[in-house]
Amino acid sequence: MSQLAFYFDATACTACKACQLACQDKNQLAPNQLWRRVIPYTGGGWTIQEGFYVPNNFFTYAVSIACNHCARPICAEVCPTKAISKRDDGVVLIDQSKCIGCRYCEWACPYGAPRIDEEAGVMTKCTFCEDLLAQGQNPACVDACVMRAIDFGPLEELQAKYGTVNAIEPLPDSSLTQPSLVITPHKHAQLSGTGTGKIDILEEAL
């Protein structure tokens, strides 16, 4: 079977966080247990000209990011209990009944996808809404996006349609884990590793 993947259109995203909230709502997540996050990225600055603030290479855009169900899932590689596995359709899932809550996957994942369930003491992460998929429905984040900026499907189809960009700032270099992700970059997007901006969000909101 082919690899399931997410598509994200950074030119359409308004950073409204509807996807993040829909994900939390559908999956009954705690406030800090964000399986999908919207992360604004900002750079450049402003200058004063004749008493007015004028943008000086100022830019800002956002990425909406969940688990990328990577081709090389480093979380599954390092997990000591084999609680994390990759299905035939490429979806990476955590079996909570095997998890010991050591949080090693959290250190290993460059996307911050595995999140602890503080109450149960085990790791959780984006399941690609596999229960909805099984009923022929879309993942909650996809349907929640008012800008239609998130889509999903077989990786090859998305790549044929939208290209092969999968690493813009503030996302990490894609060679680490080969994420199943396709991005339409924002016009100001900087490729991963060449960033001059910074993540523009409170640390506690990450």
Partner 1 sequence: MDVRQWSLVIFTILGQMSVGAFLVFLVVYFFAARKVGREEAERLSDLSLLAIGPVLLLGMVASVLHLGNVMNAYRAVANLGSSWLSREIFFGVLFAVVGGVFGLMQWRKIGPFSLRIVIAVIAGLLGIALVVSMAAVYLLPTQPAWDTWATPVRFGVTTLLLGVLAMGAAFVANYAILQRKDPSCAEAQCTLLRSTLRWLAISGVVLLGIELVVIPLQISTIATGSAFGLTSIKMLLGEYGTILGLQLALVFLGAGVFGVFVYTNAMSAGKENVMSVMAFAAFAIVLVAEILGRFLFYATQVSIGL
What residues line the site for partner 1 (CB under 8 A)?
A: 37, 39, 65, 74, 77-83, 97-104, 107-112, 116-117, 120-123, 170-173, 176, 199, 206
Q: How far is the CB of 104 from partner 1 (least distance, A)?
A: 5
Nearer of residues 37 and 188 to partner 1, judged by Cβ: 37
Q: Are 85 and 17 in contact (CB under 8 A)?
A: no
- Least distance between partner 1 and beta carbon 170 (Å): 7
Nearer residue to partner 1 within complex by CB, 58 or 104: 104
CA distance 184 to 157: 14
CB of 166 to partner 1, least distance (A): 13
Backbone angles phi, psi at 121, to 5 degrees: 75, 20
* Those residues with Cβ within 8 angstroms of residue 91's Cβ, 6 or more apart along the chain or in another chain: 4, 69, 127, 128, 130
Cβ-based nearer residue to partner 1, 98 or 153: 98
In three-state secondary structure terms, 75 is helix
CB closer to partner 1 out of 133 and 199: 199
Minimum Å gap between C-beta 56 and partner 1 is 22
**Which of 109, 139, 138 lies closest to 127 in space, CA to CA?**
139
Q: Which is nearer to partner 1, 109 or 165 (CB)?
A: 109
DSSP 3-state assignment of 95? Answer: coil
Which two three-digit tokens encode residue 113? 């996808």
As given in the structure block, the two tokens for residue 191 are 């490729």
Q: How far is the CB of 180 from partner 1 (least distance, A)?
A: 16
Three-class SS of residue 93? Answer: strand
